[in-house]
Amino acid sequence: MNILAIGDVVGSIGCRFLRQHLPVFKKMKGIDLVIANGENSADGNGLTPVSVQFLYDSGVDVITAGNHSFRRKESYELFDSSEYLIRPANFPSSVPGRGACIVDMGRVQVGVINLMGTIYMESLDSPFDTADRLLADMPKITLVDFHAEATGEKRSFGYYLDGRVSAVFGTHTHVQTADECVLPQGTGYITDLGMTGPIQSVLGVKPELVIEKMRTKMPVRFALAEGDCKMECALFQIDEKSGKTVSVERIQIQ
């Protein structure tokens, strides 16, 4: 089974680029399931019903989120109603939505869990303990989007779940890492998938605006960069019988 995980989709420009390339790429690689982080898919952070539907219509099967999950109020009801839109499971139980889903593909079920790190991030429940609770009800093939800042926390989490899930992939930093591998007990891993959006940018934003913010320490209204884009992702080949990853391919499409 081939499962594609796509890094943070940034704004309408990232959504359009994904639509241009994903359908053909799915056919070329024989991809069975697509997971994409969509927490930045709306212009100005967050997600909206329009951006979520655009990703679904473009060929994404499961949409994960992160610290910008609830940036837009119009997303609250969507998290409750959309079965395959999930937010970090270690948010308080009172917030909208769910932190995991199971996709029934007929011959096999695939679980997807979304968790968020706590180092340099929000003060949430332990992702380690939350994962322990969730895994009791997840199928043999389960992948985890770990939305986190610190590379040490991400790699520690990968080893913690090694042999217990099919794959762990990081999101949030928008910078693709070159450490894709299969861990000793058969879990596919990459610290960060990267992003889908404008190449000449700072995490998708116009560089001059981020520079102004960092130099002056004054409020700056960020705007998305334009121009050529990229889609950064990783392809996990998973053995259906064992649920373990056979290979990981790091990909950048321009």
pLDDT tens per residue, range 208-236: 999 999 999 999 999 999 999 999 999 99
* Secondary structure string (H, E, C) spanning the chain: CEEEEECEECHHHHHHHHHHHHHHHHHHHCCCEEEEECCCCCCCCCCCHHHHHHHHHCCCCEEECCCCCCCCHHHHHHHHHCCCECCCCCCCCCCCCCCEEEEECCCCEEEEEEEECCCCCCCCCCHHHHHHHHHCCCCCEEEEEEECCCHHHHHHHHHHCECCECEEEEECCCCCCCCCEECCCCCEEECCCCEEEECCCECCECHHHHHHHHHHCCCCCCCECCCCEEEEEEEEEECCCCCCEEEEEEEEEC
Q: What's the pLDDT tens digit per position in 181-193?
A: 999 999 999 999 9
What is the distance between the terminal CA atoms of the chain, rounded to a whole angstrom? 25
The structure's pTM equals 0.96
Identify any residues that bridge with 171 across adjacent strands, giving them in sequence order. 147
Say yes or no to pLDDT of 106 above 90: yes
pLDDT grade, residue 31 (50/70/90)?
very high
Say yes or no to pLDDT of 20 above 90: yes
Alpha-carbon 33 to chain mean position: 13
Provide the mean pLDDT of the chain. Answer: 97
pLDDT grade, residue 141 (50/70/90)?
very high
Question: In this prediction, what percent of the chain has a pLDDT beyond 70?
Answer: 100
pLDDT grade, residue 175 (50/70/90)?
very high
At 216 the pLDDT is: 97
Task: Give the C-alpha separation, 37 to 53, whole Å.
Answer: 13
At 44 the pLDDT is: 87
Say yes or no to pLDDT of 172 above 90: yes
**Annotated active-site residue in 21, 68, 147, 172:** 68
Task: Give the C-alpha separation, 77 to 81, whole Å.
Answer: 6
Q: Is 21 in the active site?
A: no
Mean pLDDT of 76-105: 97
